[in-house]
Structure 1
Amino acid sequence: MCVQVVANKFKIPRYVLFASPAGALATMLHMPELIKQGRLPIDPSKKEELIYDIPGVPPTRLADLPSPMQDANAYEYPFYARNCVEMHEATGVLINTFYELEPSYIDTLRQTVYGNVNGKEGHLLSILPVGPMLPKAYFTAGPEISANVEERDLCLQWLDTQPESSVLYVSFGSVAVLSIPQIQELAMGLEMSGQRFLLVLRAPLNPENLPLFPEGFEERTKGRGFVHVGWAPQLLVLSHRAVGGYLTHCGWNSTLEGICRGLPMLTWPIQAEQAMNARFLVDDVKAAIEVCTVTDGFISRERISTAIKRLLADPEGVIVKNNMQKLRDLALAAVGEGGSVQRNLENFLQELRSWKSS
C-alpha cells in the first residue's frame, strides 16, 4: 500500500526523506513529464541528447540522468517511476543537502507546482534542506580528527608518515566495483602521475585469480603509495592532515563527506545519480576536476594521470581547492547554531504543529 494512502486515510501530512541532492530531486519530480514526452525510458541512440526543461536544472545529457530512470527493462524502473509520481502528492521533502550548496535548485523547487498528475490538483511542496546528514565529527573545524595510536588502521599509520596535503585518497564507495583490467589501469595511472596516493578498493569477483595490480606496482610505488583492499576508516582518512585530494565515484554521501572536510575532488561517476553529482561538482561549484563521464567506458592510465596532476600539481588544483574550502565553511555555518539547517528543522516542526491544530 502506498504510504500516501495511509496518510490520506488518517488525514496526516506525508514528508519524504530524500537522501540525494536537490538537483536529483528536481529530476525525479520531472520524471512523469519526461515519460509523457517519450524521453523516458531512454532510446540508446539518443543518450547524448540534452534535456532543457527540468525546472532549475541546467541542460543535462539523457545519459547523465539517474540510472534507475533509463532502462524500462531494469527491475528498479517501475518502482522508481511510481515513486516519482507519488512524490508529487507529498506534503514536503526533507533533503540531504544544505541551502547554501544548492540555492538555485532549492529556490526553483519551492516555486514549482507539483501534484498535477493523473488529473489531481497541484500544490507547492515544502522543501526543507536538512543536510548534510553525517556524524557530528564531520563538522569539527579542525583539519584532523584524532584516534588512539594503538587503534590506528595501517593506512592511517602510513598517512602519518606523509607530508601535509600531499596524498590523493582514492575510493569508489561501498557498492561500486571496478573490473580487474580497470583496476590495473588505475594503478598505472596513479604510478604515472608521480603523486602520493592511498588506494582503497572493494575486491572484485575474481574466479580466475587474476592479479589485481600490474607486476611490481606496489614495489615501484612503495613509500609514496599505499593499497588497502577492504574497508577503511573514511572519516579518519578524509580528516587526515596528509590527504589533499579525493578521487570519488560521486555518491552523494561521499560527496558531502568530502565537502565537509574541505577536500577538492576528482570525479569518476559509475551509477545512480552520480553523473549529475559529478557535473554539479565540476560545472556548478567548480570544486572538482573530471576524470571521466559515466559513458566513457574504459579509462586509460594517461587520462587518470593527467587528471591527478591537474588536481595536485597544477595551479588549476589550487582554484578547485579554494572553492571546496569555501563550500566547507558554508556547510559548517549551515549546521551551526542559528544556521539554515536549524531554521529548516524548526520550520518542519512548525508545519507539523499547524497540521495538528487544524
Structure 2
Amino acid sequence: MEGGIADAGNSPADEEQIQIRESSLRAHVLVIPLSIISVSHVTSAVLLSAKLAKQDITVTIFTDRYMLPHIHSLHSPEALQSLDIRLAIMDHDESERELHEDWSRPFKDSYDVMRAAEPYFQNMASARSSGAAGLPTCVIADMFCLWAQKLSHEQNLPCYAYFPSGANFARLLQAFPALISEGRLRVGENGKFIKSKQTITVPGLPPLLDIELPNSTKINPVSVTAKAGLDLSKNLPCYAYFPSGANFARLLQAFPALISEGGLGVGENGKFIKSKHTVSVTAKAGLDLSKVNGVIINTFYELESHAIEAFLQACDPTLHVPKVFTIGPLAAARTEAAAREGEREECLEWLDRQPVSSVVYICYGSMAKWTAESLRELALALEASQCRFLWVLYQESGDDLVHALPAQFLERVGQRGRVVTYWVPQVQIIQHQALSCFMSHCGWNSTVESISGGVPMLCLPLGAEQNLNCRHIVDVVKVGIQVKVGDDGVPKQKDIENALQLMMEEEEGKMIRQRVLELKSMAAAAAVPGGSSSTSFQELINDLKCT
C-alpha cells in the first residue's frame, strides 16, 4: 500500500483499520460560533468552515437548531456533506429562542452556549477514552465563547478563538481594560458607559466618541481584574479568530487592563458605566496572549494594518507574542436557499433592467430594529432624491414594516424602486453592474462584501462595533460617507438626501469610488497565491494539520 490507498488484496478488516487510521490522522476542527443570537457570527463561521474544509480538514459546527435554515442558505446539506462539514446541534431550552431577537446579549448568550456545549464535550471525552477515531483535534471558538479553552484544555485540544468582527474591533476590545482602569471610560450603575461625548483615542484606531462604543459589551463586576475580558492565557495552544476585523481584535485585547486599572467602570448589572470622556489605550493594555499560538482575523492586512500592528505592539513583549493570521475577506457567493427562487430571480432581473451604477442598495441585516420615524425619513429621502433603489426590509415582521412606510410611497416611486422583505443574494447584488452604492449598518460581513465588490458605502451604524467600522470606512480607508443622525438617533430626510447627493453627484463621491476600487484590487491581490491573506491562510492550515 502507498499513500494510504489499499491494495486489491487487502481484506475488509484491513481496509477498515486503514480507514480508522487515516481518519485519526486527519485534522478535525470543532467550530463553535455564537449561534443563539447572531446570524452574522454564524455566517462568518460557516464561511471559515468551508474554507478550511477545502483544505482536506474535517469540520464540525456546533450550532443552534434555529440557525439550520440560515446555514443551509449558505451551503445546502448536500454541499456540506461533500465538504465533510458536519453539524452538531446543541440541546438547550426552547425559551432561548427569544434571544434571537436581542443582539445586545453576547456575553450572557455565550454562557448559554457553554451550558449546552459541556455535555457535548463530556461525550467527546468518553469517546476519546474508548479509542474512537475521527474526533476533533482542535477547537475554533467565537470571540464570545472563549470558555471553550477550558473544555478543550481538559482534553488536551488546541483551542483557536474566532473573531468575526475584524481587527479594529479586536484592538478596541483589547484597549477597554486600560481605558476603564485609567478613568478615561466610566461605567454607570446600569452597566452602560456614562455618555459624555468625549473623544476616545486608541493607538491603531480612528478616534471615537464614547457614545459610539458598543452598547452590547458587558463586563461582570466580579471580573474587574487584570484578567477580565478575553482571557486567552490558558495553558494550552490557542488561536484567536477575529471575523470582525483588526480594530475589534485590538479593542478586545485592551478590555482587561481598562477594567483592572479603573479606566473603564462596571456597574452592578455588569454593564460599562459611560461618561463620554476620552479613552486612551496604552501599550501595556491588552489581552494576555502569552499562551496563545495565534490570532485569526477575518480581514486582509492592507485593510486594517494599523490596528493589526497596534494589536501586536500591545502584547507583552517579555512573553510569547502570538502569530496573527489575516485570512480574509471571507466573502463568498451564497446560494441564499432560504429565499424563494422566483423572488431571487425577480430581484436580480430588476437590477438587470437598471442603468450601470445607478442603484442604491439599502440593507441593515436581519436584526436591525427600524422605528416608524426612521422608516419614514429614509423613504421620503429616497422619494425626493429621485434615485433608483433596492431596499431590503427583512424581518419576521417585514410586512408590518412595509405597511409603516408613507402612504402611497410605493406607488409614487414606481419602477425606479423596489422594497423587498425576503432574503436576497447580497453578494450577487453588490457585484451587479447596476449598483452605485450600499447604504449599510456597517456590520463587518457587509463591510467586507462591499469593499471586495468595489462598492462605496453610505454608513448608518446602529450599534455593536458598527460605529467603529463606520469610522474606519469613512476616516481611515475613505470609501464611504456617514449619514448624519440627530440627537434622537433618527436620520433626517434632508441629511439622507445630502449624503445621497454627495455620493451620487459630487466630486467627493467620485474620489470615494476610485478609492474603493483600489481597495477591491488589494482584496483580490491578498487572496491569490503569494498575497498576504493567501500566505497567512496557508500558514494557518499548516499549523492546524500539525496539532
Instruction: Please say whether Structure 1 and Structure 2 have the same fold, judged by a TM-score greater than 0.5.
Output: yes
Query: Of 33, 54, 57, which aligns to 2:205?
Result: 57
Residues 233/207 of structure 1: CA separation in 2 closer, same or farther (3 Å cut): closer
| Matching of residue 291 in structure 1 with residue 437 in structure 2 | no
Alignment partner, residue 423 of structure 2: 231
Is the 8 Å Cα contact of residues 399 and 421 (structure 2) preserved in structure 1?
A: no
CA 1:8–1:311: 2 relative to 1, 3 Å: same
Aligned to 1:303: 495
Instruction: After superposition, give the CA deviation of every residue in 1:61-99 in whole Å (9 maximum; x if it has no partner).
Output: 112222223x6699xx99xx9552345343321000000
For residues 107 and 317 of structure 1, the distance between their equivalents in structure 2, rounded to whole angstroms, comes to: 30
When the two structures are superposed, what TM-score results if normalisation uses the length of structure 1? 0.83
> Any conservation in 1 of the 2:333–2:427 contact (CA below 8 Å)?
no
Looking at structure 1, the residues matched to 451 and 359 of structure 2 have their Cα atoms a distance apart, in angstroms, of 17
Separation in 1, partners of 2:169, 2:414: 41
Contact preservation (8 Å) 1:177, 1:202: no
Identity of aligned residues (%): 34
In structure 2, what residue type is equivalent to 1:33? Answer: A
1:55 shift after superposition: 3.4
Q: How does 1:39-188 map to 2 (within 5 A)?
A: 39-41=185-187, 45-52=194-201, 54-69=202-217, 83-86=229-232, 88-89=288-289, 90-114=292-316, 122-135=319-332, 152-188=344-380
Distance 1:276 1:293, change over 3 A: farther
2-structure distance, mates of 1:232, 1:207: 16
Letter of the structure 2 residue corresponding to residue 66 of structure 1: P
Does residue 1:242 correspond to 2:466, yes or no? no
1:4 partner amino acid: Q
* Distance change (3 Å), C-alpha of 1:95 and 1:47: farther
Compared with structure 1, are the counterparts of its residues 44 and 241 closer, same or farther at alpha carbon in structure 2 (3 Å cutoff)?
same
In structure 2, the residue corresponding to 1:282 is in which secondary structure? Answer: helix
Unaligned runs of 5+ in 2: 1-113, 115-146, 233-286, 336-340
Give the drift of 1:202.
2.3
Alignment of 1:256-295 (within 5 A): 256-292=448-484
Q: What is the rounded CA distance, in whole Å, between the counterparts of 2:300 and 2:400 in structure 1? A: 46
Q: 1:316 aligned to 488, 508, 528, which one?
A: 508
Q: Deviations over 1:230-249 (max 9, x none)?
A: 22221221121111110000
* CA 1:294–1:98: 2 relative to 1, 3 Å: farther
2:391 counterpart residue number: 199
- Counterpart of 1:127, as a letter, is V
Count of residues in Structure 1 that have an aligned counterpart in Structure 2: 334
Q: Return the alpha-carbon distance in structure 2 between the equivalents of residues 294 and 108 of structure 1.
A: 33
- Give the AA of the match of 2:507: P
Q: Deviations over 1:31-79 (max 9, x none)?
A: 2223323424367553411222x3322332112222223x6699xx99x
**Structure 2 counterpart of 1:99, which letter?**
Y
What is the one-letter code of the residue matched to 2:187? Answer: P
Q: Taking structure 1 as reference, are residues 45 and 9 closer, same or farther at Cα in structure 2, changes over 3 Å only?
A: closer
Contact in 2 for aligned 1:112/1:124 (Cα 8 Å): no
Q: State the one-letter code of the partner of 1:25.
A: A
Q: Secondary structure at the match of 1:67?
A: coil
- What residue number does 2:522 align with? 330
Distance 1:290 1:73 in 2: 33
Going from structure 1 to structure 2, the CA distance change for 1:156 and 1:322 (only over 3 Å counts) comes to: same
Task: Name the TM-score, length of structure 2 as normaliser.
Answer: 0.56
Cα distance in 1 for partners of 2:314, 2:154 equals 26
Larger radius of gyration: 2
**How far apart are the structure 1 equivalents of 2:468 and 2:149?**
28
Q: After the TM superposition, which residues 212-223 of structure 1 pair with which residues of structure 2 at under 5 Å, given as runs?
A: 212-223=404-415
SS of residue paired to 2:373: helix
Is the Cα–Cα contact under 8 Å of residues 389 and 416 in structure 2 kept in the other structure? Answer: yes
The 2-side partners of 1:109 and 1:296 are apart by: 34
Structure of greater relative contact order (alpha carbons < 8 Å, 6+ residues apart): 1
**Structure 1: any 5+ residue segments left out of the alignment?**
139-148
| Corresponding position of 2:250 | none
1:101-130 deviations in Å (ceiling 9; x for gaps): 11121122223225x9xxxx8542321111
Per the alignment, in what secondary structure is the counterpart of residue 538 of structure 2?
helix
Distance 2:395 2:452 in 1: 28
Q: 2:445 aligns with which of 253, 268, 272?
A: 253
Contact kept in structure 2, 1:270 and 1:294, CA below 8 Å: no
2:175 to 20, 30, 37: 30
Give the deviation of 1:211 after TM superposition. 2.9
Partners in 1 of 2:538 and 2:401 — Cα distance?
Answer: 55
Deviates further, 274-283 or 200-209: 200-209
**Quick one: distance in 1 between partners of 2:460 and 2:501?**
15
